[in-house]
Amino acid sequence: MFSKSHPEAEHQRLVLHEDPRSGNCYKIRLTAALLDLPIERVQYDIMLGDTRKPEFLRTVNANGRIPVLQVGDRFLPESNAACWYLAEGSPLIPTDRFSRADMLRWMFFEQYNHEPNIATLRFWLLFVGEANLGEHQRGQIMAKRAGGEAALGLMEEHLAGREWFVGEAVSLADIALYAYTHVCEAGGFRLRDYPGVCAWLRRVEGLPHYVAMD
Amino acid sequence: MFSKSHPEAEHQRLVLHEDPRSGNCYKIRLTAALLDLPIERVQYDIMLGDTRKPEFLRTVNANGRIPVLQVGDRFLPESNAACWYLAEGSPLIPTDRFSRADMLRWMFFEQYNHEPNIATLRFWLLFVGEANLGEHQRGQIMAKRAGGEAALGLMEEHLAGREWFVGEAVSLADIALYAYTHVCEAGGFRLRDYPGVCAWLRRVEGLPHYVAMD
């Protein structure tokens, strides 16, 4: 879709350190696919604590988290920062100054208001299992449900009359928000309550070079 | 310090919609000060629900939060996106591609791992008051204390042998992390446990045009 628009990235080996079940990891893989950038994948199992082991903490990410994008011999944690690195100079980042900042606005919204509610409930219900949750986690379910619904409601409102989150074209804002939105039902959210969001999900899925989550 | 490096911003009226007690709002004011950019301030009281009123939701931010940076007649929520808008083209954003993404990495870390722990405890203990916390909030204090200490510990480790978070100069990563770190003791954290962080706080405070939080 956007190949040949990112000369610097093409000359460095790109390795995604990931757990393929993670939407944060998938964001980076989707960004690379849309940009037609080859990316190697090294897989970890977060349920087995792979990313808390001393070797990982020392060499990949002292914060004990994935994804991490390896660029040559340098390591870049934080999914949205990695997407930014891959997409700089491509049409996935708007050229207008305000729109560029507005794209980042939705990416910060995603990490602050969306992911901690929607992705966390999916992780708890799909991977940990409701029966295995601790009392402290159970006590947070209602607040996270309300927070996630508020985030989806804000997205629905914003998408009224729009095709994409920022301007007239797909940007990293759409990719960042798509990752956990399209699998939110695994966290107990009902996508049919958000028809505008559903139509936007289909638009993302219709992009050339789109790849699905594993 | 960096004036005349941001031609577009100089021609638009900049208004910060803020509660001056908020570190997220202060980030934007500090960025504008370091860049010598004039910025108007409109103040709200989050304790009185000013940012949840219909007028605010309709005209300033449908997400009901501050800060919002108004640029002419457009509104930009999310503190770190607003800082990015102000600083584009200035030395507060590194010119090297990897460093720019690495700066964003620390800004996403700030919003995901730092602010929800450190700023929230400060808000609960300093403004809400421990006696007024609900049971659900009380149940989160220990996890937020541990999360905040982990964030400060990671900052301490990263700053060993470094003056700034990214590269050789102050960037938005430092401003974003400074805002709630320098007042973290109001949330019950002990800065003296992090001497490298304390030395870095003093470096930020020594920058030309630095302004203190109200």
* Residue A158 pLDDT grade (very low, low, confident, very high; cuts 50, 70, 90): very high
Contacts of A140 in chain B (CB under 8 A): 136, 140
Q: Compute the distance between CA of residue A117 and CA of residue A145 in angstroms, rounded to an integer.
A: 7
* Residue A87 pLDDT grade (very low, low, confident, very high; cuts 50, 70, 90): very high
Residues 56-75 in B contacting A (C-alpha not used; CB under 8 Å): 62-63, 71, 74
ipTM for this model: 0.95
pLDDT at A88 over 50: yes
Residue A141 belongs to what H/E stretch?
helix A141-159
In chain A, CATH 3.40.30.10 sits at 7-87
At residue A160, what is the residue type? A
Q: Does B140 touch chain A (CB under 8 A)?
A: yes
Supply the pLDDT for residue B174. 98
Supply the pLDDT for residue A28. 98
Supply the pLDDT for residue A214. 87
Phi (first) and psi of residue B18, to 5 degrees: -145, 160
So what's the architecture of B7-87 in CATH? 3-Layer(aba) Sandwich (3.40)
Nearest CB partner across the interface for A139, out of B115, B116, B139: B139
Are B111 and A112 an interchain contact pair (Cβ–Cβ within 8 Å)?
Answer: yes
Q: Does A139 touch chain B (CB under 8 A)?
A: yes
Looking at per-residue confidence, does B49 or B7 come out higher? B49
Contacts of B202 (CB under 8 A, 6+ apart): none
Contacts of B77 in chain A (CB under 8 A): 105, 109
Q: Compute the distance between CA of residue B83 and CA of residue B175 in angstroms, rounded to an integer.
A: 9
Phi-psi region of A64 (alpha: psi -120 to 50; beta: other; left: phi over 0): left
Nearest CB partner across the interface for B81, out of A8, A85, A108: A108
Q: Of B173, B166, B164, whose CA–CA distance to B206 is shortest?
A: B164
Supply the pLDDT for residue A145. 98
pLDDT at A47 over 70: yes
How many Cα atoms occupy the beta-carbon half-sphere of A178 within 13 Å?
Answer: 28
User: Min CA distance, A212 vs chain B (Å)?
Assistant: 25
pLDDT at B4 over 50: no
In chain A, CATH 1.20.1050.10 sits at 97-205
Q: Does A113 touch chain B (CB under 8 A)?
A: yes
Contacts of A111 in chain B (CB under 8 A): 108, 111-112
Are B98 and A71 an interchain contact pair (Cβ–Cβ within 8 Å)?
Answer: yes
Contacts of B59 (CB under 8 A, 6+ apart): B75
Q: Which residue of A has its CA nearest to B104?
A: A81
Q: Does A119 touch chain B (CB under 8 A)?
A: no
Are B108 and A105 an interchain contact pair (Cβ–Cβ within 8 Å)?
Answer: no
Q: Does B156 touch chain A (CB under 8 A)?
A: no
Q: Of A171, A180, A185, whose CA–CA distance to A31 is shortest?
A: A171
User: Min CA distance, B62 vs chain A (Å)?
Assistant: 7
pLDDT digits (tens, 9 = 90+) for A112-143: 999 999 999 999 999 999 999 998 899 899 99
pLDDT at A27 over 70: yes
pLDDT over 90 for what percent of chain A? 93
Burial code (b: 16+ CB inside 10 Å, e: under 16) for A52-69 equals eeeebeeebbebbbbbbb
Handedness of CA A142, A147, A153, A156 (dihedral sign): negative
User: Min CA distance, A5 vs chain B (Å)?
Assistant: 14
Q: Does B36 touch chain A (CB under 8 A)?
A: no
pLDDT over 70 for what percent of chain A? 95
* DSSP symbols for chain B: --TTS-HHHHTS-EEEEE-TT-HHHHHHHHHHHHTT---EEEE--GGGTGGGSHHHHHHT-TT--S-EEEETTEEEESHHHHHHHHHTTSTTS-SSHHHHHHHHHHHHHIIIIIIIIIIHHHIIIIII-GGG--HHHHTTHHHHHHHHHHHHHHHHHHHTT-SSSSTTS--HHHHHHHHHHTTGGGGT--GGG-HHHHHHHHHHHTSTT-----
Q: Compute the distance between CA of residue A192 and CA of residue A99 in angstroms, rounded to an integer.
A: 29
Supply the pLDDT for residue B8. 54
pLDDT at A206 over 90: yes
pLDDT at A10 over 90: no
pLDDT digits (tens, 9 = 90+) for B145-191: 999 999 999 999 999 999 999 999 999 999 999 999 999 999 999 99
Looking at per-residue confidence, does B4 or A68 come out higher? A68
User: Min CA distance, A69 vs chain B (Å)?
Assistant: 11
Over residues A83-108, the mean pLDDT reads 98
pLDDT at A165 over 70: yes
Decide yes or no: CATH 1.20.1050.10 for domain A97-205: yes
